[in-house]
Amino acid sequence: MDPKEVKERLKIPRQPMPEQDPKERVRNFNEVPFGYPPELAMKEAMRCIQCKKPLCVEGCPVEIDIPAFLDLIVQGKFVEAARKIKEKNALPAVCGRVCPQEDQCEKVCVVGKKGEPVAIGNLERFAADYERETGAVEIPEIPPPTGKSVAVVGSGPAGLTVAGDLVKLGHKVTIFEALHAPGGVLMYGIPEFRLPKSIVEAEVDYLKRMGVEIICNAPIGKIETVDELLQNGYDAVFLGTGAGLPYFMGIPGENLIGVYSANEYLTRVNLMKAYRFPEYDTPVIRGKKVAVIGGGNTAMDAARTALRLGPEKVYIIYRRSREEMPARLGEIHHGEEEGIVFKFLTNPVRFIGDEEGRLEAIECVRMELGEPDESGRRRPVPIPGSEFKIPVDTAIIAIGNGPNPLIPQTTEGLKVNKWGNIIVDPETGKTSKRGVFSGGDIVRGGSTVILAMGDGRKAARAIHEYLQTGNW
């Protein structure tokens, strides 16, 4: 690109995505941003200066050819742009919405060195939505069957990626899902206003149309073990069962009525649609004063979900300061706009209930930051005598998840670490058990959708090789 053109392009400011007004959106579960209209998308894509050595591609865990798809958007070839993304990423409409781009592609974007980076995530979302909404989604040609079949356990981002990659290579793929709907954390965890469930359903439908079989209500480890899958004709098994075991704090009063794990709270509202009770049968406590404990994306999701159920106040209680919050900046920003009250450097010490066992208040202690710990973040230390109470009737604990034990408990020869996460070779996803691969949160602990997908991609490659060569 000639320097003049580069200069022109650098003058274009980053185009914000139009979104629902905060006052309006806290009263509904509709998606917050509306997405770019085509002209805004083209303008934003113009900001890419088509670097010869695009750092953004290196910053992407699945190595999407970002400059190429942005250039296609500039040319108005939106469907082609979506297909370009899909060469590397099977779930662009999902990733465009939930990836932490500011820590990945957009973090290293050259345009962002001086000004704001190109809105790669927003544009990924635009291309994927355009393709889907105009009915342009095409099913790729599937090669003749290889005669090999693979069982994928769990239908979250890792499992869906593995399934998509392998079915395109001609293998027979069956996904086993324990819940009644496929999608894993995309269905039960991430709220409707951030990732509409119709989008997850469309992505799952795309896999089905490619020939992936999905069996719901099938908890592997219970209905069949991994060994039985291998004996019953599956040539390989991928375990993508996620981080399905909520951590609690281990402080008094944690089992009072009104104290939820984020998993339970989000599952009730998202998967079971408790926000539409009694039209839907599953209830959830509609608290007047709600406190969410934790500082990650799940905490933000829980807090913003709680806001939409009509409370007086929603707090986020986090033991470190704002700078250390692991949540995406955009989520914190959205939460602030919507009226969440942040209590930084604050840590619960006990939950207090009434005689019926219902939560009334949380006793907290103020914290200060001391020396850095193993994670490199400054360790929060309680300030003695600084205890105080916050009256709340609902508390949601979002301090992370452990690995779900159903599979490790029932699979002989599968090695796990001291936290119970499955041990794999990071390059291939190979576990200690022949023919069994794994990736995503069951390996990583709490992580992101895109890293789970990256694991799925690598594992799919290794599974394909294993199926062809039989070498372990």
Partner 1 sequence: MFPIVEKKVLSPTVFQLKVVAPTIARKRKPGQFIILRIHEEGERIPLTIVDSDPEKGTITLIVQEVGKTTALLGTMKEGDAILDVVGPLGKPTHIKNFGTAVVVGGGIGIAPVYPISKGLKEAGNRVVAILGARNKDLLILEREMRAVSDEVYITTDDGSYGRKGFVTEMLLELIKKRVRMDMVLGIGPLPMMKALCEVTRPYGIYTVVSLNPIMVDGTGMCGACRITYDGKVRFVCVDGPEFDGHKVDFDELIKRNRTYLKEEKIAMEEFTYHEGPKCYETTGE
Q: Please, are residues 395 and 290 in contact by the beta-carbon 8 Å criterion? A: yes
User: Are 283 and 272 spatial neighbours (Cβ–Cβ below 8 Å)?
Assistant: no
Output Rg (C-alpha) for the chain, integer angstroms.
Answer: 23
Which residue number, 258 or 380, has a Cβ lying nearer to partner 1?
A: 258
Give the distance from CA 174 to its chain's centroid: 22
Residue 102: strand, helix, or coil: helix
Q: Please choose, out of 167-175, 249-257, 336-344, 452-460, the segment that lies near partner 1 by the rule CB under 8 A.
A: 249-257
* 277 belongs to the binding site for partner 1 (CB under 8 A): yes
Selected binder of partner 1 within 7, 23, 27, 180 (CB under 8 A)? 180
Rounded Cα–Cα distance for residues 236 and 230 (Å)? 7
Residue nearer to partner 1 on the CB measure, 82 or 285: 285
Q: How far apart are CA 299 and CA 296, in angstroms?
A: 5
Least Cβ distance, residue 107 to partner 1 (angstroms): 32
| Residue 257 beta carbon to partner 1: minimum distance, rounded to whole angstroms | 5
Question: Segment near partner 1 (CB under 8 A), from 340-348, 379-387, 398-406, 453-461?
Answer: 398-406
In angstroms, rounded to a whole number, what is the distance separating the alpha carbons of residues 123 and 130? Answer: 10
| Length of the chain (residues) | 472
Q: Which CB sits closer to partner 1, 202 or 271?
A: 271
CB atoms within 10 A of CB 348: 21
Q: Which residue lies nearer to partner 1 by CB, 50 or 225?
A: 225
Q: In the set 144, 250, 376, 470, which binds partner 1 (CB under 8 A)?
A: 250
Nearer to partner 1, 40 or 230 (CB): 230
Q: Are 250 and 289 in contact (CB under 8 A)?
A: no
Q: How far is the CB of 246 from partner 1 (least distance, A)?
A: 5
Under rule CB under 8 A, residue 263 binds partner 1: yes
Amino acid at 427: E
Q: Which residue's CB is nearer to partner 1, number 147 or number 283?
A: 283
CB of 263 to partner 1, least distance (A): 5
- Terminal Cα-to-Cα distance of the chain (whole angstroms): 47
Left if phi > 0, otherwise alpha if psi is -120 to 50, otherwise beta: which for 435? left
Per-residue contact flags (x/-) with partner 1 for residues 194 to 233, judged by CB under 8 A: ----------------------xxxx--xxx---------
Q: What gap in Å lies between CA 344 and CA 144, rounded to an integer?
A: 57
- 143 binds partner 1, rule: CB under 8 A: no
Contact residues: partner 1, CB under 8 A: 178-180, 188, 216-219, 222-224, 244-246, 248, 250, 254-255, 257-258, 260-261, 263-264, 267-268, 272-273, 277-283, 285, 356-357, 404-406
